[in-house]
Amino acid sequence: MKTLILSSAALAVVATGGIAVAQGGRMAPPSTKAEATAQAADRFARLDADKNGQVTLAEMTAAREARMERREARMAAKGKDMPDRPAREPRIGKRVDTDGDGQISLAEMTAQALERFDRMDANKDGAIDTAEREAQREKRKERRAARMGE
Q: Which residues of this chain interact with Ca ion, rule CB under 5 A?
A: 48, 50, 52, 54, 97, 99, 101, 103
**Residue 103 or residue 112: which is nearer to Ca ion going by CB?**
103
Residue 37 beta carbon to Ca ion: minimum distance, rounded to whole angstroms: 18
Q: What's the rounded Cα separation, in Å, for the pair 107 and 118?
A: 16
Q: What's the rounded Cα separation, in Å, for the pair 133 and 31?
A: 9
Residue 58 beta carbon to Ca ion: minimum distance, rounded to whole angstroms: 9
Q: Helix, strand, coil proportions of the chain in percent (round to 5)?
A: 55, 5, 40
**Residue 97 or residue 121: which is nearer to Ca ion going by CB?**
97
Residue 107 beta carbon to Ca ion: minimum distance, rounded to whole angstroms: 8
Sequence-ordered alpha helix ranges (H) in 17-129: 33-47, 57-77, 106-120
**Residue 28 or residue 111: which is nearer to Ca ion going by CB?**
111
